[in-house]
Amino acid sequence: MNLHKPLFELLFLGTGTSTGVPMIGCDCPVCTSPDPRNRRLRSSLYLRLGDIALLLDTSTDLREQAITHNIRQVDAVLFTHAHADHVFGLDDLRRFNTLQQNQVIPAYAVPEAAAEIRRVFSYLFQSCQHGLYRARVDLRDVEAPFRVARLGCEPELDAPLVTPVDVVHGDGRTIGYRIDFGGCSLGYAPDCVTLPEEAAAAFHGVDVMVIDSLRYRPHQTHMHVEASLEAIGRIAPARAFLTHLCHEIDHATLAAALPQHVQPAYDGLRLRL
């Protein structure tokens, strides 16, 4: 009998806000910091769940992230919303098609985000000249929990369960995800300004919660540190990680001020549940 839990591994590909850190043309202490944890690409997460690999958002920096971490497998993509920093790497999925016998990659988004992705990347979803090298994506509307599988396979009963969770993030509909697999659970909400009670209940008690925490001051569309900690208190995860950080956040300074079970995430951080 195998008593070991299946692999549930997180890799933070990017933990920065839409401008990235360092920010263009900025000489602030964080943008010029020698601490590598203050270098932040646009927010994205890569999961290994047994033999399944999930990509959460296709950030603007997807090519650099994939090369840095030698990523060669993407079985499905989960989109949180259709803002540029979370979708503009979509075209780079074409290389993963090639690496995976030219199979079409399923991608999931709520209908509003899917419609915007189809509009922005219309050339991907229209008939085109034979031989044109483009990403092959099956964009699927999602409103309810679903299971994911290896590319080209049907999900089994114990396959990862993905639950979309509505959060509030300014204009347009944005979701986070709860992912359960092998007795472990993850909550992921990189872009939100408030967390409705229904969302907090959906995430409640996860092993790891990854949540937006743009800066120390309040913001119109993103949580600031105080709001993130309040939301984490309602979720009550075993551990929590702050992401989508701007150049006002110095990693070491924030880490020293947080509760023991809360940490700022950083690019390249790996966690096994």
Over residues 80-129, the pLDDT tens digits come to 999 999 999 999 999 999 999 999 999 999 999 999 999 999 989 887 66
Asked if residue 2 is part of any domain, the answer here is: no
**Count of Cβ atoms closer than 10 Å to residue 220 Cβ:** 7
The bridge status of strand 76-78 relative to strand 105-109 is parallel
CATH number at residue 151: 3.60.15.10
Asked if residue 27 is part of any domain, the answer here is: no
How far apart, in whole angstroms, are the C-alpha atoms of residue 198 and residue 216? Answer: 25
Asked if residue 1 is part of any domain, the answer here is: no
Over residues 22-73, the pLDDT tens digits come to 999 999 999 999 999 999 999 999 999 999 999 999 999 999 999 999 999 9
Q: What is the pTM of this model?
A: 0.95
pLDDT at 257 over 50: yes
Are 218 and 239 in contact by the 8 Å Cβ rule? The answer is no
pLDDT bucket at 1, cuts 50 / 70 / 90: very low
- Amino acid in position 34: P
How far apart, in Å, are the Cα atoms of 44 and each of 29, 76, 89, 155? 24, 14, 11, 24
Asked if residue 41 is part of any domain, the answer here is: yes
In this predicted structure, what is the pLDDT of residue 171? 80
Structure tokens at 52: 């399944």
In this predicted structure, what is the pLDDT of residue 131? 65
Asked if residue 3 is part of any domain, the answer here is: no
Asked if residue 263 is part of any domain, the answer here is: yes
pLDDT at 206 over 50: yes
In this predicted structure, what is the pLDDT of residue 267? 98
Q: Which domain holds residue 195?
A: 8-22+32-272
Report which DSSP code applies to 234: H
Q: Write down the mean pLDDT value for the chain.
A: 95
Structure tokens at 169: 């993030």
Asked if residue 55 is part of any domain, the answer here is: yes
Half-sphere exposure of 129 (CA within 13 A, CB side): 3
Q: Report the candidate in 110, 51, 48 with the shortest Cα–Cα distance to residue 79.
A: 110
Q: Report the candidate in 203, 219, 217, 209 with the shortest Cα–Cα distance to residue 170.
A: 219
Count of domains observed in the chain: 1
Are 162 and 145 in contact by the 8 Å Cβ rule? The answer is yes
C-alpha gyration radius of the chain: 18
pLDDT at 208 over 70: yes
Let me know the angle formed at the C-alpha of 146 by 221 and 8, rounded to the nearest 5 degrees: 80
Asked if residue 182 is part of any domain, the answer here is: yes
